[in-house]
Amino acid sequence: MSRSSGWRHKAINVDAMRRLARRKLPRPVFDFADGGAETEWTLRRNEGAFARKALVPRPLNGAAQRDLSTTLFRHRLSMPLMIGPTGLAGLFWPDGELCSARAAAAAGIGYCLSHGSVCTIEELAALRTEPRWMQVFVYRDRGLTREFTDRAAAAGYHALVLTVDNQLLGNRERDLRNGFGIPPRFTPWQLLAMAPQLPWLWRMRNALPRLTMGSYLREGSREELAALAGRLASLLDPSMDWDDVRALREQWKGPLLLKGILHPDEARQATALGVDGLIVSNHGGRQLDGAISSIEALPGIVAAARSARPDLPILIDGGIRRGADLAKALALGATAGLIGRPQLWGLATAGEAGVAHLLEIYRREFDRAMGLLGAARVDELGPDLLAEAPPLG
């Protein structure tokens, strides 16, 4: 068996890809992606809450032919899934963001670039993959938010995502234990301990020394901006409020989404302000530990937002590890799901090929779940196909 077919053989599902990534990445890097805030209660709950929803199939519907596609802001996606924004994807594989965006485009789905990507806004756009979305924050210096937004518009991004749940950085204790900071700088001892992950270290030998958040760099001021990325926490403004959403709504002419919405009143307010979409998310359990899981929050958001705007796109992320999880989210009213960590596990496993493989797993599983449920189209997934399933014993 060749080396490449070796990993493919093992990577039979998303959790298997996580295990492969754990073996291939140095501990501080794996933990940076895998970990959550504090006791990781919300992180666990994101996945656990999917297990408390049971699917109730209607096989006699006869769904031999299935159309998994869906339309999102005028883009036809081959399935209702996107790759969500994850900072420093280029830490997992050289040019990680570009690899993931290419794999997403080849699979016919969208890609959202993080504010904290290693590549720049413009480098990703140069791939001309579609749809490409850009994620921004509200900074103390509102000029920086406006600048990122202008650059995204100039580079032809199709939607803007304002992440609202990260204005104070979550308390990620695995990173503290591992001494992992942003941008990461490894001590000689840490590098020595990475001997078992030599292939990763070798692959990253050129990328690691210049690893930073590319979009923050200004020409000729490399040092200053590497430090700036390190000071990210002090750049973000916890006093962000609805006026900032209004300002962004005025500036950005394309679809605007808010990411990190968990409270129905916020969904209502966002809709009233003319936001074009919501992403139900708790940042993958990396911010407020104890926060409600995304799938538990979804029905409240759907009810609140769609009473005013019945066709409002509502996306969800957090703990989507199976095609059946995606089916459950759609049955509860989500338009599409996003994945965060799994794409990093795909990258760590085999770069672009790893992400392509991961997306194929999601497609196969989602397709099979639809077929077994008796749903021929994604709009046939509704709450009638779900029941509450309290945990066993």
**DSSP helix/strand/coil, 388:** strand
Which residues in 231-384 belong to E strands, given as ranges?
256-261, 277-280, 314-317, 336-339
Q: Is 261 in the site for ligand FMN (CB under 6 A)?
A: no
Minimum gap (Å) between residue 279 Cβ and ligand FMN: 8
**Residue whose beta carbon is closest to ligand FMN:** 340
Q: Is 94 in the site for ligand FMN (CB under 6 A)?
A: no
User: How many Cβ atoms from other residues are within 10 Å of residue 374's Cβ?
Assistant: 15
Backbone angles phi, psi at 243, to 5 degrees: -60, -35
Amino acid type, 127: L
Minimum gap (Å) between residue 34 Cβ and ligand FMN: 8
Helix 341-373 crosses helix 3-10 at what angle (to 10 degrees)? 60
Q: Is 110 in the site for ligand FMN (CB under 6 A)?
A: no
Please, which of residues 30-59 interact with ligand FMN by CB under 6 A?
32-33, 46
Q: Of the two residues 212 and 281, which places its CB atom closer to ligand FMN in the complex?
A: 281
Q: What is the DSSP letter of 95?
A: T
**Alpha carbon distance 30, 60 (integer Å):** 44
Q: Of the two residues 249 and 259, which places its CB atom closer to ligand FMN in the complex?
A: 259
Give the rounded distance of the alpha carbon of 268 from its chain centre.
23
Q: Is 322 in the site for ligand FMN (CB under 6 A)?
A: no
Site string for ligand FMN, 269-308 (x = CB under 6 A): ------------x-xx-x----------------------
Q: Of the two residues 132 and 259, which places its CB atom closer to ligand FMN in the complex?
A: 259
Q: What is the DSSP letter of 384?
A: G
Among 85, 90, 96, 346, binds ligand FMN (CB under 6 A): 85
The residues near 100 (Cβ < 8 Å, ≥ 6 apart) are 83, 89, 111, 343, 346, 347, 352, 355
Q: Is 100 in the site for ligand FMN (CB under 6 A)?
A: no
Among 183, 255, 313, 319, binds ligand FMN (CB under 6 A): 319
Among 70, 86, 212, 349, binds ligand FMN (CB under 6 A): 86
**Alpha carbon distance 114, 117 (integer Å):** 5
Q: Is 317 in the site for ligand FMN (CB under 6 A)?
A: yes
Bridge partners of 159, per DSSP, are 133
Minimum gap (Å) between residue 281 Cβ and ligand FMN: 5
Backbone angles phi, psi at 77, to 5 degrees: -100, 145
Minimum gap (Å) between residue 339 Cβ and ligand FMN: 5
**Alpha carbon distance 24, 350 (integer Å):** 10
**Alpha carbon distance 217, 295 (integer Å):** 37
Q: Is 18 in the site for ligand FMN (CB under 6 A)?
A: no
Strand duo 256-261 + 159-163: pairing: parallel
Q: Is 163 in the site for ligand FMN (CB under 6 A)?
A: yes
Q: Of the two residues 85 and 183, which places its CB atom closer to ligand FMN in the complex?
A: 85
Among 115, 174, 322, 328, binds ligand FMN (CB under 6 A): 115
Which residues in the chain belong to E strands, given as ranges?
53-55, 70-72, 75-77, 81-83, 110-113, 132-136, 159-163, 256-261, 277-280, 314-317, 336-339, 386-388
Task: Tell me, yes or no, if 357 is annotated catalytic.
Answer: no
Q: Of the two residues 115 and 363, which places its CB atom closer to ligand FMN in the complex?
A: 115
Q: Is 129 in the site for ligand FMN (CB under 6 A)?
A: no
Q: Of the two residues 319 and 333, which places its CB atom closer to ligand FMN in the complex?
A: 319
Minimum gap (Å) between residue 271 Cβ and ligand FMN: 20
Residues in the chain: 393
So which residues are the catalytic ones?
283
Q: Which positions lie near ligand FMN, rule CB under 6 A?
A: 32-33, 46, 84-87, 114-116, 135, 163, 259, 281, 283-284, 286, 317-320, 339-341
